[in-house]
Amino acid sequence: MDREGHARVNGIAHWYRIAGAAHGTTPLVILHGGPGGNNYTFERTIGPHLERFTTVVYYEQRGCGRSDPPLNPDQYSLPLLVADLDALRVTLDLRRIVPLGFSFGGELALEYALAHPHRVERLVLQCPSVAVSGRIPFVQTYGLAAVARGEIQRRIRALLAEPGPIERKHEQAWQITDTPTVDRLLFHDPRAAAFNRRLWRESGLVNTGDMARALARPSPGESAPLIDRIGAITCPTLALVGLHDRNVGVDLVRDVAGRLPHSELVIFERSAHFPDIEEPERYAAAVEDFLARHAEQ
């Protein structure tokens, strides 16, 4: 049934909302980015388009959006987030799901598919921010240099001309970047950027940064890099990216798609990191076509 509420999962109240239940399809479970973001904007932009043809479960991760935070601000890890998602699946009595992860949510979707392959019917990845040594810092730092203006652009270009690791330059570039530059990095159309900002203000939701800080710390006994493990994922996968994405980059998404045995890639020519906001009709059509062609037998 369509409904909204909180499910107590692993001791934490997680917010969720179900829409389009009348379709009776294996639900798309929306995994937001960040880390530490929320689904408020997704619900109000591309979400209604998806609800027209499939069941959608909007879900906010621990400490994010309308979900409660853990008592300890360090209680975030990918294994914990994977465990939360599977516990939610059990709570909602879902045999299988179709994770749709955007940005960091794409990384979570891939980790979930590796941990619970029999619970993933199909997989949708929007601009997944899969960590590969140096690549995202490189893409973002040069992206900021390309879209910045005036003194900010001069300072970022000066950083790039200095010796030293790209990771350090990346951190420093973000410290001097302003909101208009971030909007030009993430969006191709400034009207979409302004709309996104308006919805963020309207939501009143805040990214505390706790998840991002916790995930950035090295964990003992970490497994091989995700990019080297995803070849084991055999379910049909749709990878989506905007041609102008300077946050993750087309090349990384193409690499992810190329390593997945049963994947297809769609590039949106008038979008950057959020084709769901910039080209919602084409985005929805791509997802609907993919789901129809790979329906559960």
Q: Give the position of tokens 């190329």.
A: 258
Average pLDDT of the segment spanning 7-18: 97
**For 29-72, how does the pLDDT look when each residue is reduced to its tens digit (9 = 90+)?**
999 999 999 999 999 999 999 999 999 999 999 999 999 999 99
CA 121 vs. chain centroid, Å, equals 19
Lay out the sheet containing 28-31: strands in order across: 3-9, 12-19, 56-59, 28-31, 98-102, 123-126, 237-242, 263-268
Nearest to 78 by CA among 103, 61, 95: 61
Neighbouring residues of 230: CB distance < 8 A, sequence distance ≥ 6: 110, 114, 130, 256, 259, 260
Min mean pLDDT across 3-12, 101-110, 223-232 is at: 223-232
Tokens at residue 163, please? 């010796």
Q: What is the pLDDT of residue 217?
A: 85
**For 213-270, how does the pLDDT look when each residue is reduced to its tens digit (9 = 90+)?**
999 887 776 678 999 999 999 999 999 999 999 999 999 999 999 999 999 999 999 9
Distance in angstroms (rounded) separating the CA atoms of residues 144 and 186 = 10
Q: What is the pLDDT of residue 222?
A: 65
Q: Quick check: 109 pLDDT over 60?
A: yes
Q: What is the pLDDT of residue 131?
A: 78
Strand partners, 16: 5, 59
**For 177-210, how does the pLDDT look when each residue is reduced to its tens digit (9 = 90+)?**
999 999 999 999 999 999 999 999 999 999 999 9
- For 83-106, b/e burial (b = at least 16 CB within 10 A) is bbbbbbbeebebeebbbbbbbbbb
- Kindly give the residue spans of alpha helices, DSSP state H, lying in the chain: 40-44, 47-51, 78-91, 104-115, 135-147, 150-161, 166-176, 179-186, 190-203, 210-216, 250-259, 275-278, 280-293
